[in-house]
Structure 1
Amino acid sequence: MRSNARAEAGPEQVYLDGLASGRFEIQRCTACNQAVFYPRCVCPHCGGTALDWFAPSGKGVVYATTTVYRKPEQGGDYNVCLVDLQEGVRMMSQVRSLAPDQVRIGMRVAARIAMVGDVAQVVFEPSEELA
């Protein structure tokens, strides 16, 4: 997408379009150099309005987790977690490839893009790499 088209789309749409194209990007404020997530127009740290996009490392640590219980015919149980990325932002997601009750606070994880229905989303997998 052209840079002016990205600006016209709004930050949330730029983020979602990136995921749909296989790119996981978050913002960084050019004034205070802090990472920003969820996408927005104004830096929550300093009020700056110049936010650039960059690809984070994808490395993180589970900050909190819970299990959502559902009947098997409704898709079964799944976890919802908050992950602190190495860049200093926190995002809500899921840890995949583990039973929901196996996800632990402090667990190291790595991001990947997965299709959830028809929507590309950031999900996490357990990782041995240091976050």
Structure 2
Amino acid sequence: MNRLPRLRGQLFERHEITVEKDIVRARQAVGRAMDGLGAKAIRKTRLVTAASEIFRNGLNYGGGAVALIHCDAGNRMVWVDCIDDGPGIEDMALALRDGYTSGTGLGRGLGGAKRLVDEFDIVSEPGVGTHVRLAGRA
């Protein structure tokens, strides 16, 4: 699978997401990164909410994931990568459509996350995994 290019900025934290509690720790780290850049509460909430949804997808559909949180102080951006080695996404357009779910959720995960952030990118290959990148400006 083609991964997204390396991020600029400083690695803030790395988290393995293998159980539900890991999602909480990783989303708290996203919040701390936004706080470190002086983000307004609404901007922080939007990125933390989107990241939480993506982390949950990595756990539930990808069988676990790695979360990488980067801070780019120069651009006042927090970047979040969530990478899994799960089954991948067969139909990206369908997966991004509101109401579509491959599980038991409401089908608002990927599309909802995309609407909440300043930058969103995703690459996925069936049978190989998925790499989602989100970013929020502080």
- Name the structure, 1 or 2, with higher relative contact order (CA <8 Å, separation 6+): 2
More helix by share: 2
TM-score, scaled to structure 2: 0.26
More strand by share: 1
Q: Which has the larger radius of gyration?
A: 1
TM-score, scaled to structure 1: 0.27
